[in-house]
């Protein structure tokens, strides 16, 4: 199994338990460092906003074997209403609506490269055990959108989130809507 990741830091921080089964390779989706017709499945999670969709779709078609599949997983803009943490960071939502490709944009790019959409399924992913755990995670500001908003917007959002998290009725796990698109080589 190969994982293609342009960031040396991300490759280095990959969990050790996965590194025996996965070969990490420097590179990007637009120029995959893989041979033609060499893999059965391409899996992209939370990354379609990072690359050129048309160039990536051509590369997926090149590296896949006949009848190969592509799975694309993301929180596309049409499900952002369900991404709970945007409530405290409205400026982040505006940015993501502008920069995140929609599911139909992904579909158009893959269809142009010769793929057929097999289906779309909507999922609820547990993203934190509680609002407090969510606040602790977001405090690292490792989500790229939280780095793009102003320091003031970030500080206010985190403070409001921690206030709500301190309420005794807000101890439930936090879920977010995600979408899985599956494609097959036509």
Ligand X SMILES: C[S@@+](CC[C@H](N)C(=O)[O-])C[C@H]1O[C@@H](n2cnc3c(N)ncnc32)[C@H](O)[C@@H]1O
Name the residues that contact ligand X, by CB under 6 A. 5-7, 10, 28-30, 45-47, 50-51
Q: Which two tokens stand for residue 50?
A: 């990072």
Q: Return the number of the residue (91 or 146) whose C-beta is nearest ligand X.
A: 146
Q: Return the number of the residue (51 or 183) whose C-beta is nearest ligand X.
A: 51
Ranked by CB distance to ligand X, the top (closest) residue is 28
Q: Return the number of the residue (31 or 166) whose C-beta is nearest ligand X.
A: 31
Beta-bridge mates of residue 175: 126
CB neighbourhood size of 152 (10 A): 9
Crossing angle for the helix pair 151-165 and 90-99, to the nearest 10 degrees: 120
How do 64-74 and 39-45 pair as beta strands? parallel
Q: Return the number of the residue (85 or 165) whose C-beta is nearest ligand X.
A: 85
Helix (H, G, I), strand (E, B) or coil at 56: helix
Q: Which two tokens stand for residue 182?
A: 């599956």
CB neighbourhood size of 149 (10 A): 19
Q: Return the number of the residue (109 or 165) whose C-beta is nearest ligand X.
A: 109
CB neighbourhood size of 113 (10 A): 21
């Amino acid at each position: 199994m190969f994982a293609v990741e342009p960031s040396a830091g991300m490759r280095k921080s990959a969990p050790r338990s996965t590194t025996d089964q996965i070969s990490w390779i420097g590179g990007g989706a637009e120029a995959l460092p893989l041979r033609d017709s060499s893999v059965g499945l391409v899996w992209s999670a939370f990354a379609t906003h990072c690359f050129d969709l048309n160039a990536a779709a051509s590369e997926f078609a090149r590296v896949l074997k006949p009848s190969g599949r592509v799975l694309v997983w993301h929180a596309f803009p049409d499900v952002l209403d369900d991404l709970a943490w945007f409530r405290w960071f409205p400026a982040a939502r505006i940015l993501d609506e502008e920069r995140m490709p929609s599911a139909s944009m992904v579909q158009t790019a893959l269809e142009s490269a010769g793929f057929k959409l097999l289906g779309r399924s909507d999922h609820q992913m547990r993203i934190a055990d509680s609002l407090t755990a969510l606040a602790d995670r977001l405090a690292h500001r490792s989500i790229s959108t939280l780095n793009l908003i102003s320091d003031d917007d970030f500080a206010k959002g985190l403070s409001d989130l921690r206030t709500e998290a301190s309420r005794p009725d807000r101890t439930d796990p936090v879920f977010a809507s995600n979408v899985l698109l599956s494609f097959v080589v036509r």
